[in-house]
Amino acid sequence: MKKKYTFIDLFCGIGAFRIGFEKNNYKCIWSSDFNKNCQTTYEKNFGDKPFGDITKIKTSEIPNFDILTAGFPCQPFSISGHHKGFEDTRGTLFFDICRIIKDKKPKVVVLENVKHFINHNKKKTLKTVISALEDLGYFVSYKILNASNFGLPQNRERVFIIGSRNTFFNFELIKFRKSNNLDYFLEKNGKHNFLKKNEYTILNDKFIKRQESGLIFKGYRNKNGFKKGIRKNTKHLNRVHRQPNRIYSSSGYHPTLPSQESAGRFFIYDEKLKKVRKLTIDECYKIMGFPKNFKKHEKSGEQYKQIGNSVAINVVKEISKQILDQKLLDDKIIRKYDALENLKIQRHARV
Ligand SMILES: C[S@@+](CC[C@H](N)C(=O)[O-])C[C@H]1O[C@@H](n2cnc3c(N)ncnc32)[C@H](O)[C@@H]1O
């Protein structure tokens, strides 16, 4: 039987990384998330309860593993300018990731964050993360990946930062699979929550076109937005520009399911029914790649928050496959020390 590579699931939420990696036969041996509601959902699905606050956990309490995964919260670093490597990250959750990496020396590290992480604090945050990982002995590469290129009808862009002790993870080898449109994923039957005709406005056909992102902006909800400071005859613009009021067509992709949403205000124009309706919670989980038998939290507000905070499973699954295909876990590969040293020299010259 083939060896099962092990991983730990940090900031695990409801376990999307775990599902993606397990699909390629990796074994999760430890997880952590201090959010009680996430712990409940995670335990319901995987049978083990994640450990709590990572800042309070000693590395000696964590078993040895091959891969570390983390969709970690983005926090600013107070950068001294002295390039102290991972010491520059003290006081942040990334520091805790680094301290685990330093002690455990996993073969591969997979980090995920929101797209704007790349430009956060004038790119200093990203540079600090890369420097810290390089100082810990990793080749680092990163790329923004969109869930819609992995068979999911959602325009969800996230940055993936991958460190490997062997050689660079090559993002160019990733296999893309353009998604079908949202229509294809919608529940055919079901008790839908429709908007009344007077509750929305559909744009004139001549204004409707598919954007490069795959979104088709179809109209907006007739909700009152801000009451003050609106210029005469521009009230509708105020509605249009408020993202939660926008209605997208089911013949395109869905916008990113956001993390701060707890009421599920995702309204779509269902082209088959010719009506505006709310995306159901099952549809939300489906367009993140969750399996049908995934057990959601019992509270509706938590279900929405948890899915918005999660990571698209199909993307993680492809990354975990590439890690195997690119032989990043293979002990026989000789590390390119010179390449890493060269890289550090270049980086210090650059920063
Ligand atoms: C962006 S979410 C990651 C979600 C996860 N990737 C998923 O698929 O559901 C970040 C998670 O970090 C957790 N978190 C934040 N600070 C933490 C800490 N100090 N210790 C453990 N978990 C923490 C939050 O509770 C949250 O669930």
CATH code for position 268: 3.90.120.10
**108 and 256 co-located in one domain:** no
Nearest CA to ligand 1 atom 4: 13
**58 and 195 co-located in one domain:** no
**145 and 186 co-located in one domain:** no
9 SS3 class: strand
Residue indicated by tokens 């408020």: 242
Residue 1 in domain: no
How many domains is the chain partitioned into structurally? 2
Position 104 scores a pLDDT of 97
Nearest CA to ligand 1 atom 18: 53
**Burial (CB count within 10 angstroms: exposed 0-12, middle 13-18, buried 19+), residue 325:** middle
289 lines ligand 1 (CB under 6 A): no
**241 and 343 co-located in one domain:** no
39 lines ligand 1 (CB under 6 A): no
**324 and 281 co-located in one domain:** no
Half-sphere exposure for 25 (CA within 13 Å, toward CB):
8
**225 and 148 co-located in one domain:** no
Position 92 scores a pLDDT of 84
Position 333 scores a pLDDT of 55
**154 and 109 co-located in one domain:** yes
Nearest CA to ligand 1 atom 2: 309
Atom of ligand 1 minimally distant from the CA of 52: 21
Cα of 119 from ligand 1 centre, angstroms: 21
Cα of 11 from ligand 1 centre, angstroms: 4
Cα of 53 from ligand 1 centre, angstroms: 9
Q: Which of 37, 12, 17, 6 is nearest to 312 (CA)?
A: 17
Residue 37 and residue 300: Cα distance in Å, rounded? 12
Q: How far is CA 334 from CA 32, 102, 326, 328, 331, in A?
A: 32, 20, 14, 11, 8
- Tell me if 236 sits within 8 A of 258, measured CB to CB: no
Cα of 232 from ligand 1 centre, angstroms: 44
309 lines ligand 1 (CB under 6 A): yes
Position 102 scores a pLDDT of 96
**125 and 17 co-located in one domain:** yes
- Tell me if 149 sits within 8 A of 253, measured CB to CB: no
**345 and 291 co-located in one domain:** no
Backbone phi, then psi, for 43, in 5-degree steps?
-65, -40
Cα of 306 from ligand 1 centre, angstroms: 10
Nearest CA to ligand 1 atom 22: 33
**147 and 117 co-located in one domain:** yes
Residue 276 in domain: yes
pLDDT, mean of each 10-residue run, the chain (351 residues) = 87 98 98 98 98 97 98 71 64 91 97 91 88 94 98 97 95 97 91 93 92 96 63 55 80 92 85 94 97 97 95 98 95 58 54 40
91 lines ligand 1 (CB under 6 A): no
Q: What count of other Cβ atoms lies within 10 Å of the Cβ of residue 147?
A: 26
Residues in a beta bridge with 68: 8, 109
Q: Which residues, including other chains, have CB under 8 Å from residue 270's CB and lie 6 or more apart?
A: 186, 192, 250, 276, 277
Residue 117 in domain: yes
Longest CA span, the chain = 72
**Active site residue ranges:** 74
Backbone phi, then psi, for 283, in 5-degree steps?
-65, -35
Nearest CA to ligand 1 atom 1: 309
13 lines ligand 1 (CB under 6 A): yes
**27 and 157 co-located in one domain:** yes
Cα of 192 from ligand 1 centre, angstroms: 31
Residue 287 and residue 274: Cα distance in Å, rounded? 21
38 lines ligand 1 (CB under 6 A): yes
- Tell me if 17 sits within 8 A of 50, measured CB to CB: no
Residue 95 in domain: yes
Residue 214 in tokens: 């795959």
Atom of ligand 1 minimally distant from the CA of 32: 21
Supply the range of the domain harboring residue 282. Answer: 182-299
Q: Which residues, including other chains, have CB under 8 Å from residue 197's CB and lie 6 or more apart?
A: none
Three-point CA angle 125, 150, 50, nearest 5°: 60
Position 88 scores a pLDDT of 67
